[in-house]
């Protein structure tokens, strides 16, 4: 691969343990993981944290397009991860990119954890949504720009096919409150996962951005999945 590497932060690169790649959500950047990466480094893992295109230090890398972003994540893993593979952990828009990367570049993914995967069918109203969200963000003092907002909604509202994923995968829906993740959307992604050891779960006590709300629980979940142990209390199977 000859892609320019995404700007990223690397923690504990001298570790003999595997690499964990953390992929942030939309309208955010790698600092989203500031409360979590020290907990993973505490288990002696190497942690890589990129900024997705059109976000953070990658602001000038545009557009945010799912296949391009997936290719860039794979390039980063190939160049910087131990043994050119990583345990990939992603949330929200990052979950879309990570799932695409796991499908298209399976040799780069050791295990996969995605939370907050929501994928809606385009409708008559969906083309207007990025403009409404952008206007609301500007009124509230947000710093997002219209092109990035449109890119994000093009990922969220799409009729694209989901590709098969071979990695042992954990698909999580946080189902508390008005902004709860859509269980049927999580199930749709899980149906593409081929490894029979994979799991589809929900946590009724967590909101969509629960990595920010409960960093210790999130880190505990990551370590449990990587090490093949039981998930923490509160996670239940989705039938």
> Once rounded to an integer, what is the mean pLDDT over residues 96-120?
99
Residues 6+ apart with CB under 8 A from 223: 40, 43, 229
What pLDDT shows up at residue 142? 72
Q: Residue 56: its pLDDT value, please?
A: 94
**Considering the chain, what is the average pLDDT of its residues?**
96
Count the alpha carbons within 13 Å of 101 in the hemisphere toward its beta carbon: 34
> Which residues are paired to 168 by β-bridges?
111
Angle between helices 93-104 and 146-156 (to 10 degrees): 60
pLDDT tens-digit readout, 23-45: 999 999 999 999 999 999 999 99
pLDDT greater than 70 at residue 3: no
> Residue 152 — very low, low, confident or very high, per pLDDT cuts 50/70/90?
very high
Q: What average pLDDT does this structure show over 117-127?
A: 95
Q: Which residues lie closer than 8 Å to 160 by C-beta, 6 or more apart?
A: 66
Give the pLDDT of residue 1: 46
Distance CA 32, CA 10 (A): 14
Environment class of 188 (CB within 10 Å of its CB; exposed 0-12, middle 13-18, buried 19+): middle
User: Quick one: how many helices (H) and strands (E) in the chain?
Assistant: 8, 8
Domain architecture of the chain: domains with CATH: 8-119+161-237 (3.40.50.1820), 120-158 (no CATH)
Out of 131-145, 152-166, 208-222, pick the least confident.
131-145
**What is the number of other CB atoms lying within 10 angstroms of the CB of residue 174?**
24
What's this model's pTM, rounded to 2 decimal places?
A: 0.96
Alpha helices in the chain (DSSP H): 37-41, 66-80, 93-104, 129-139, 146-156, 183-190, 210-213, 215-227
What band does 68 get if pLDDT is binned at 50, 70 and 90?
very high
Mean pLDDT within 100-120? 99
Average pLDDT over residues 228-236: 98
pLDDT band of residue 230 (cuts 50, 70, 90) is very high
Residue 114 has pLDDT above 90, yes or no: yes
CA 70 to chain centre: 11
Give the tokens for residue 86.
């990583």
- For residue 144, pLDDT beyond 80: no
pLDDT of 218 > 90? The answer is yes
pLDDT at 112: 99
């Amino acid at each position: 691969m000859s892609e320019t590497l995404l700007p990223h932060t690397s923690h504990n690169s001298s570790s003999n343990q595997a690499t964990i790649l953390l992929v942030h959500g939309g309208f955010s950047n790698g600092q989203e993981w500031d409360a979590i990466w020290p907990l993973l480094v505490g288990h002696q893992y190497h942690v890589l944290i990129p900024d997705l295109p059109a976000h953070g230090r990658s602001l000038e890398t545009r557009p945010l397009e799912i296949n391009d972003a997936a290719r860039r994540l794979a390039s980063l893993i190939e160049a910087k991860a131990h043994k050119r593979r990583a345990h990939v952990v992603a949330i929200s828009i990052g979950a879309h990119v990570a799932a695409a990367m796991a499908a298209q570049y399976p040799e780069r993914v050791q295990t996969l954890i995605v939370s907050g995967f929501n994928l809606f069918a385009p409708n008559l109203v969906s083309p207007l949504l990025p403009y409404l969200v952008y206007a609301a963000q500007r009124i509230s003092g947000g710093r997002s720009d219209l092109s990035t907002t449109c890119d994000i909604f093009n990922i969220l509202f799409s009729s694209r096919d989901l590709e098969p994923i071979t990695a042992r995968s954990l698909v999580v829906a946080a189902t508390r409150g008005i902004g709860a993740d859509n269980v049927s959307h999580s199930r749709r992604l899980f149906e593409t996962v081929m490894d029979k050891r994979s799991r589809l779960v929900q946590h009724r006590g967590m909101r969509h951005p629960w990595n920010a709300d409960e960093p210790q629980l999130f880190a505990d979940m990551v370590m449990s999945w990587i090490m093949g142990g039981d998930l923490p209390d509160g996670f239940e199977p989705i039938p």
